[in-house]
């Protein structure tokens, strides 16, 4: 099964760009499974729906308000993603929301069979092209969660 790992976020806003930094980190690992297709989704766009639709599995990496310590991450699988995103009271700083893209995929009957969101609690959302130190240190654990999930799905 092909897996798309989509890193989203604004890399000009420090930790808001953690999803993009995480997918770049994953892609650089020599242990990155070969069937994983890593995509820097930036601040999202409807054009990404086509890339998502061509994979059976989707994992999104993004900053998320988890009400936890900065650097902590949590994985939401399947409908858990929708519940989590629907409870977020703030608008996304992305051009469109993940829910909007999921709606497009549902309307065209092209939602990946398996999907997950790995949300990472940011520490700093401010003008900077660099992650905070705590998020830089948290990247390996979040990316390891992605690899474990992909291996579990492949069983």
**Residue with structure tokens 């700083």?**
93
How far apart (Å, rounded) are the C-alpha atoms in residues 118 and 96? Answer: 18
Cα separation of 55 and 143, whole Å? 19
Domain count of the fold of the chain: 1
Q: Which domain holds residue 70?
A: 3-154
User: What is the pLDDT at residue 94?
Assistant: 52
What pLDDT is recorded for position 96? 55
Give the C-alpha separation, 99 to 111, whole Å.
12
- Those residues of the chain that have pLDDT short of 70 are 89-96
CATH of the domain at 76: 3.40.50.1450
Report the alpha-carbon distance of residue 140 to residue 119 in Å, rounded. Answer: 14
DSSP string, 69-111: -TT-EEEEETHHHHHHHHH--SPPSSSS-HHHHHHHHHHTT--
Q: What is the pLDDT of residue 91?
A: 47
Residue 95 pLDDT: 44
């Amino acid at each position: 099964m092909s897996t798309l790992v989509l890193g989203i976020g604004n890399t000009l806003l420090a930790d808001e760009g953690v999803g993009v930094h995480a997918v770049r980190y994953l892609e650089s690992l020599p242990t990155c499974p070969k069937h994983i297709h890593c995509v820097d989704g930036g601040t999202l766009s409807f054009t990404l729906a086509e890339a998502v639709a061509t994979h059976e599995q989707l994992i999104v990496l993004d900053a998320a308000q988890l009400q936890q310590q900065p650097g902590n991450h949590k994985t939401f699988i399947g409908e858990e993603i929708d519940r989590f995103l629907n409870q977020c009271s703030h608008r996304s700083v992305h051009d469109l929301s993940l829910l909007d893209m999921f709606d497009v995929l549902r309307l065209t009957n092209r939602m990946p069979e398996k999907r997950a969101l790995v949300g990472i609690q940011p520490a700093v959302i401010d003008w900077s092209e660099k992650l905070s130190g705590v998020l830089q240190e948290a990247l390996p654990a979040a990316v390891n969660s992605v690899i474990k999930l992909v291996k579990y799905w492949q069983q």
